[in-house]
Amino acid sequence: MFEKLMNIDRRIIFVLVAVVVIIPTLIPIRLPTRVAEPTQKLYDYIDELPPGSTIIMAFDYGPSSLAEPEPMAKAVLQHCFNKDVRVIGITLYANMPTLADKLMQKIATENGAVYGEDYTFLGYRPGALQVILGMGTNIAGVFETDYHGTAIAEIPMMENITNYDQIDLLLDLAAGSSTEAWIIYANTRYNLKIAAGVTGVIIAQMYPYLQTNQLVGFMPGYLGATEYEKLLNAPGDGTIGLNTASFVHLLIIGLVALGNIAFFIQRRREE
């Protein structure tokens, strides 16, 4: 038996992984989650914004990494629409406009938000630093039209918005170094409030900015999305993703433990 455990067929492992992925996805299992300070601070900041406030949501990730930022975007959009906080969507990634636009439309439809009044999507313009700096002076000078070709002047919610002075927060949903760029060029130069939702691989580098108050808060990967959903009392893709990852990790830990136990027992018998 111990030899079989040490030489288990990889196909069995694949089947076990498939099972622990499928079950949490199909059955709403909610593992206990404690809301950490970074997510709580972001939630509180948005929750305390008065109705009619405006935030910018930057979809700064690509299709290959959307699994983590997308649940964060859904949760924050839902929160904003329920609080009557207007959202301006943009992206610094050339391959994201269509995906970001569809996501905003989907959440807006689910929450009764109206395009042009409650939210708008401006799309993409090349030159990330030029975009960030240019919007600090004149947003319409960078985005003459929205993603659908409507002139900025014709969008009702943009009527009194000229630059960052009228923006209450920028939330950067990032899979790379874009958050640092927003902090350096928008926060430092224009004093724009910045928050972030980042993928797991760049969580650690966000904490120094939180400690220096250059970030008002941030969501760390699937965990951050799950925490935000818990605060909204609306479990969604973040909760499903975190639960699935947790069960897969538990399976791997269990298999490693069994393999080591079998190895030491087998070696002891041979001795």
Same domain for 87 and 44: yes
pLDDT at 252: 86
Same domain for 123 and 205: yes
Beta partners for residue 220, in sequence order: 198
Same domain for 158 and 60: yes
Same domain for 191 and 147: yes
Residue 183 per-residue DSSP state: I
What tens digit of pLDDT does each residue of 119-128 get?
A: 999 999 999 9
Same domain for 205 and 76: yes
CATH number at residue 78: 3.40.50.620
Same domain for 181 and 72: yes
Q: Name the pLDDT band for 24 (thresholds 50, 70, 90).
A: confident
Instruction: Say how far apart CA 228 and CA 78 lie, in whole Å.
Output: 11
Burial pattern 66-79, b for ≥16 Cβ within 10 A else e, equals bebbbbbbbbbbbb
At residue 25's C-alpha, the angle toward residues 174 and 98, to 5°, is 40
| 233 pLDDT higher than 90 | no
Cα dihedral value 122, 123, 128, 132, nearest 10: 10
Same domain for 129 and 19: no
| 80 pLDDT higher than 90 | yes
**Three-state DSSP state, 193:** coil
Q: Name the pLDDT band for 5 (thresholds 50, 70, 90).
A: low
Residue closest to 58 by CA, chosen among 111, 136, 121: 121
Q: Which of 137-141, 224-228, 230-234 has the highest mean pLDDT?
A: 137-141
% pLDDT > 70, the chain: 96
Same domain for 122 and 17: no
The number of folded domains in the chain is 2
Q: What is the pTM of this model?
A: 0.84
Kindly give, in sequence order, each residue whose CB lies less than 8 Å from that of residue 4, ignoring residues fewer than 6 positions away: none
- The pLDDT mean for the chain works out to 90
CB 176 within 8 A of CB 60: yes
| 53 pLDDT higher than 80 | yes
pLDDT at 16: 86
Same domain for 262 and 180: no
Structural domain of 174: 33-234
What tens digit of pLDDT does each residue of 133-192 get?
A: 999 999 999 999 999 999 999 999 999 999 999 999 999 999 988 999 999 999 999 999
Same domain for 171 and 256: no
What amino acid occupies position 24? Answer: P
Same domain for 177 and 56: yes
First to last CA, the chain: 18
**Three-state DSSP state, 86:** strand
Same domain for 20 and 72: no
